[in-house]
Amino acid sequence: MEVIKLNDQYIQPFVSEQEIEQITPYAQLALSQLLEGKGAGNDFIDWVQWPTSYDKEEFQRIKQTAQKIQSDSDVLVVIGIGGSYLGARAAIDFLSHTFYNEVSPKRGCPKIYFLGNHLSSKYLNELLEVIGEQDFSINVISKSGTTTEPAIAFRILKEKLIRKYGKEEANRRIYATTDQDKGALRSEADENGYETFVIPSGIGGRFTVLTAVGLLPIAVAGLNIEALMGGAEKATALYQQEDVSKNEAIRYAMIRNILHRKGKQVEILANYEPNLRSFGEWWKQLFGESEGKDHKGIFPTTANFTTDLHSIGQIIQDGPRNLFETVLTVKESPSEVRIMADEKDLDGLNYLENKTLAEVNQKAFQGTLMAHTDGGVPNVVIELADMTEGTLGQLIYFFEIAVAISGYLNGVNPFDQPGVEAYKRNMFALLEKPGYEKLADQG
């Protein structure tokens, strides 16, 4: 059964098959460069074969550690920023109960909170209040251990852990996902005996969701990481094919590249399920950091329908024609609600009697699709069979391959992120970090 299907019939008025044929040889070249390791950024392409080559021994340790955390902790605090938390959060939200933290204790899993992805003292203080006297553990994720946001969060949470348990027990409740050999966090972990997991040196942060970076929190949430990796493994066979008529990830990359050359500067990843919102945040980083270089790239943003149809729907429908939509839609709803008749029918909804909410949602999707394409907005539809681990594993790999091909087609290195450091240099100077004072004087 196809768990992911690319439906591109709604871009046909905007992109012709002739255009796709003309760009196909370049896409095939990009794929061969990626698979053979001959393209730009080839030091960071280990993710390409990761679903089949991942460390099976570490994978077993991840499962064992997840069981330990489930047995001794009411709360797991995941500390990381960017790719160090977005993938795990996306997967947990995609696969779990919408109100996971409210129901997790009944399912034998700890509540999971994410920290270290901003500098809000309000959020931090309120999280400390929520943790209170509950038993908790920390999964700190950082290749270097010196990134400002997670480093501050770890320092504060570690202090709370030591106060509660003493240093020896606190060390047993800290799990560090970091570089295998170097960095401040690696040194601290070795010195204190933290259980450690590896961020592979050949995989950049935004591609690490299928490594220990994402897998440990996902496993702690009680989700099936074997099925997740199995879905990704199936995706390698599908999306490494040179025949683009069978490779939907590459076809998607070609379509968005053609649209970009026609002046489409913004891509909206839209969904009709609230559990897909965090996936959109992961997707934004993947595409934004990979493509946005040399004054090139499509600006990635998200929309959550039908909610946002009542806010930004107007500008999508009638605003500038510089955007297109990629819509995630789920064929099989994981749960159902049926609409019943009301004797007075004051809200005028009796015409929906016996229809399911999923049916109404589907018609909203279809109606929006027609309205937006009629209004000049190209729509690419990615149909998901369900919201299970196997489907998610395949979807993650689909977008990873697509963004790599898109980057190469646009002449950029999709595996670096030089612009991310600019704000840090200014912030350090303003904070008078040693070595940055001269820049502060210039301001």
pLDDT 10s digits, 265-300: 999 999 999 999 999 999 999 999 999 999 999 999
Which residues are 6's β-sheet partners? 382
Residue 362 tokens, joined: 């589907």
* Top-tier CATH class for 48-223: alpha beta
- Over residues 128-173, the pLDDT tens digits come to 999 999 999 999 999 999 899 999 999 999 999 999 999 999 999 9
Length of the chain equals 443
Q: Is 289 a catalytic residue?
A: yes
Q: Can you give the pLDDT at residue 407?
A: 96
- Over residues 399-417, the pLDDT tens digits come to 999 999 999 999 999 998 8
Residue with tokens 């699709």: 369
Beta strand 266-271 with 75-79: parallel, antiparallel or unpaired? unpaired
Q: What is d(CA 258, CA 264) in angstroms, rounded to the nearest whole number?
A: 9
Residue 39 tokens, joined: 């393209």
Q: Is 68 a catalytic residue?
A: no
Q: What is d(CA 184, CA 91) in angstroms, rounded to the nearest whole number?
A: 28
Per-residue b/e over 346-375, b at no fewer than 16 CB within 10 Å? eeeeeebeeeeebeebbeebeebbeebbee
The DSSP letter of residue 4 is E
Element containing residue 344 per DSSP (H, E): none
Q: What is d(CA 36, CA 365) in angstroms, rounded to the nearest whole number?
A: 40
The pLDDT-based confidence of 1 (bands split at 50, 70, 90) is low
Per-residue pLDDT at 333 exceeds 90:
no
> Percent of the chain, pLDDT > 90?
86
Element containing residue 196 per DSSP (H, E): strand 195-198
Residue 172 tokens, joined: 């047993």
Task: Give the side-chain half-sphere CA count within 13 A for 420.
Answer: 15
Question: How much is the pTM?
Answer: 0.94
- Let me know: does 261 contact 322? Beta carbons within 8 Å: no
Q: Considering the candidates 289, 291, 389, 400, report the single residue annotated as catalytic.
A: 289
Q: Can you give the pLDDT at residue 8?
A: 93
What's the sign of the alpha-carbon dihedral 177, 193, 133, 104? positive
The pLDDT-based confidence of 443 (bands split at 50, 70, 90) is very low
The pLDDT-based confidence of 332 (bands split at 50, 70, 90) is confident
- Let me know: does 252 contact 308? Beta carbons within 8 Å: no
Q: Can you give the pLDDT at residue 336?
A: 87
- For the chain, the straight-line distance linking the first and the last C-alpha, in angstroms and rounded, comes to 60
Q: Can you give the pLDDT at residue 341?
A: 92
Q: In the chain, where are the structural domains located? A: 4-40+228-412, 48-223, 418-442
At the second CATH level, the architecture of 4-40+228-412 is 3-Layer(aba) Sandwich (3.40)
Q: Considering the candidates 242, 424, 432, 437, report the single residue annotated as catalytic.
A: 424
Q: What are phi and psi of 134, to 5 degrees?
A: -70, 150
What is the SS3 assignment for 331?
A: coil
Cβ atoms < 10 Å from Cβ of 59: 17
CA 208 to chain centroid, in Å, comes to: 10
Per-residue pLDDT at 442 exceeds 60:
no
- Over residues 344-393, the pLDDT tens digits come to 989 998 988 899 999 999 999 999 999 999 999 999 999 999 999 999 99
Work out the average pLDDT over 36-57.
96
Per-residue pLDDT at 311 exceeds 80:
yes
Domains 4-40+228-412 and 48-223 in one fold = yes
Q: Nearest CA to 392 among 92, 54, 7?
A: 92
Q: Can you give the pLDDT at residue 435?
A: 73
Q: Can you give the pLDDT at residue 267?
A: 98
